[in-house]
A and B are shown apart, each in its own frame.
Chain A
Amino acid sequence: MAPPFGSLAPGSALLNTPRTIRAPGPGRLIRPNQNVHRFAVFTACCTFFLLIAGALVTSNDAGLSVPDWPLSYGSFMPPMIGGIFYEHGHRMIASFVGMLSIVLAVWLWRVYSRRPPEERWLRWMGVAALGAVVAQGLLGGLTVLFFLPPAVSSAHATLAQLFFSTVASIALFTSEWWERSSLRVPDLRTPSLHVLSVATASAVLLQLILGAAFRHKAFGIVPHLAGAVVVTGMIFWLAGALKRRFPAIPELCFAARGLHILIGVQLLLGGAAYWSRLYAASFPQPIPVMVALTVTHVVTGALVLMSCVLVTLVCYRIVQPAEAMIPAAAPRPSAAD
């Protein structure tokens, strides 16, 4: 008989049979994709530093300190003074992350091409991440060559955060927890956690777009403030649902706690960042407190999006919505019976 819940059934061979090989040497079993997981985590961490570097460029008003692209002042290494330090430093870190993305895409392709067909989809995540980082480089060049048009700059900022979430997702998919978890819990309430988590992640993404548009002078602060109210409500709703419906599931309780902490910190940072921008408006140059607060607010927003995306994936992994729990119909007796 086919498992009643299809691919998520506890009897699934993929879910319950750890894929391991015995390492040369006493005792220790390793997973074939353990190192690609570690590399994905490393790439995600480097991407986080790239987000910081990018935010520093904008907060220090250094976006056009290097007027040419792809070279910088006609060379690979211009004098690292003033705004050039931030802009070219950002380009250097971006190049490094680009190379990491190439390695990650190739590695994923090699490792997962040898896996069963139902697991090979992860290769395409590496390709998607690589495509995103190439597009991000092109957007960065366009924003310099066309003098920071708000739409391009906002797209560059948004795609950066999407790329970060993509790499973090790859790290999750290659993790031991993802491979070995056989936990399946029913979700009988509405809206289902699947719907709630996707809606929350989408709201956070929209809020990030509004924030980027404000930061790059496409429009004012009001849409971003309104979005903050919506996102706060959604995150509280999602985190509350996680805790109420599954108080005994440590992964989901941890996710709820993390979301609460992140949104609280982000709200405080948002208020402080906006105050610092108003305070710094009369100064002749960006002041350190404004730079620190605005950069921290931006990267915490990236962490919020990443967390919502990962929570969504975890919910899809271990939570079964009510509509997926309808048992298969018993076979009809045939005329021959």
Chain B
Amino acid sequence: MSTTLATLRHGAIELALHLLKEGEGRPLLVLHGLGERSPEELPAQYASWPGAVHALDFTGHGSSTVPAGGGYTAEILMGDADTALAELGQATVVGRGLGAYVALLLAGARPEDVRGAIVLDGPGLAGGGSTPSSPSVATVDPTAPAPPDPWALVELTRDPRPPDYATTFVRQAVSFSGLDRPLAVCAIGRPAWVDAVLHEPGVAETDLAAALTLYASV
């Protein structure tokens, strides 16, 4: 079983940051996909990471607060991940699906502190596509058990992720991280934002083991 290292405060939300493995050196921050929660045990693929491995439950997921009234955006979840980064200092970030998109945003927003971001397949990778679909007013079943917050499931599958917005974050990471390849794409999925990111200089297309080896050495 994992142990909860810390309950972190992000605005009105209490975030659960789990410690999956102790270690020396730079920590690895694991971000789950949409509707998921942090793994309860260290996934085998991260066992070789030399530093500590932490996993964050996003707002409305796992052991973090499920707030009233929804209002989710990928940028707010970037704020969740940034709250963890403030606790950990420099980290390498790996995300599944929605968490992969958040890892990209964070890598561009905090280029000195994110020492490599890894994009993996997982729930919520595509979001709402490149442009908004026709708007609608969403409803959820208020009696549905949470977590995950049903508003997160609805809202984070509708948020537009324009390719040129995603590449802006890549360019920030490339310009200010000092890393040759601050982003590694290890996903099979190719929503438009991932495809655009792969066409940017400074993005590695590789497998997870190679990406972890790459960032463990920087």
The answer to whether A and B belong to the same complex is no
B: which residues have CB within 8 A of A? Answer: none
A: which residues have CB within 8 A of B? Answer: none
